[in-house]
Amino acid sequence: MKLYAFWRSTASWRVRIALNYKNVAYEYVPVHLVKGEQKADDYLALNPMAQVPTLVLDDGRQLSQSLAIIAYLEDTAPLPSLYPRDPYLRARARQLSELVNAGIQPMQNTDTMRQLKAHGVDEKAWLHYFLGRGLDGLEASAQPHAGKFLVGDEVSVADVCLVPQLYHARRFDLDVARWPLLLRVEEACAKLPAFIHAHAERQPDAVPQ
Ligand SMILES: N[C@@H](CCC(=O)N[C@@H](CS)C(=O)NCC(=O)O)C(=O)O
């Protein structure tokens, strides 16, 4: 399999964690978002939304949207699972992952930032508002069912979304101390090889900050 990705893309990072967690081997193919490589014709043929990640299967078929890719990995490599067995908790894990995927990430996307700049919007105020609101919502939503991880004591798709998102909150200078539950779970994830090897700054295309 080939994973088309960018080192600090949160959506790419989620898929790297899931691939590692499930011990699925893959080749990493960097797509430089700042240089605009996502808009090259050959990449658009793989991903018409001009976004990463894209997973290309061994037979050439492709998948995009990180949560769809993670669901595919769950179906094809079920263990260890990233989804709780209990249907309600399973839905809660999906709820938290969508909170990040649909509720936060689009607000910080590279293209969104480009448009904000073009329209003279104060990008930092925008990011502080939307990331702050989203992470406040995540912290409160996780409270009732959190254990060692966001949903109980096993890693789930919710944790896979959390870790890259907190990296981005720090990148944009948010004070993450206001989310103690999220920080505690992040610390637990940071001890696991799947998360360690997926970290943005360990990727071959990473640029030292
Ligand atoms: N919901 C999508 C989001 C994909 C996405 O927005 N990717 C960003 C990087 S995290 C991207 O490729 N941005 C390119 C651009 O904005 O030009 C997913 O989960 O895969």
Reported as a pLDDT band with limits 50, 70 and 90, residue 129 is very high
Q: Domains of the chain by range and CATH?
A: 2-80 (3.40.30.10), 87-194 (1.20.1050.10)
Give the pLDDT confidence of 134-158 residue by residue, as tens digits: 999 999 999 999 999 999 999 999 9
The overall average pLDDT reported for the chain is 97
- Looking from the CA of residue 69, the nearest atom of ligand 1 is 20
**Which of these, 105, 4, 88, lies nearest to 50 by C-alpha position?**
4
Has residue 208 got a pLDDT over 80?
no
Nearest protein Cα to ligand 1, atom 10: 9
Asked whether the whole model's pTM tops 0.95, one would answer yes
Question: Which are the contacts of 91, defined by CB distance < 8 A and separation ≥ 6?
Answer: none
- Looking from the CA of residue 102, the nearest atom of ligand 1 is 1
- CB under 6 Å to ligand 1: residues? 9-11, 33, 38, 50-53, 65-67, 101, 105, 109-111
- Looking from the CA of residue 109, the nearest atom of ligand 1 is 16
Nearest protein Cα to ligand 1, atom 1: 65
Percent pLDDT > 70 in the chain is 100
Give the pLDDT confidence score for residue 36 in this predicted structure: 95
Taking the C-alpha atoms of residue 171 and residue 140, their distance in angstroms, rounded to an integer, is: 22
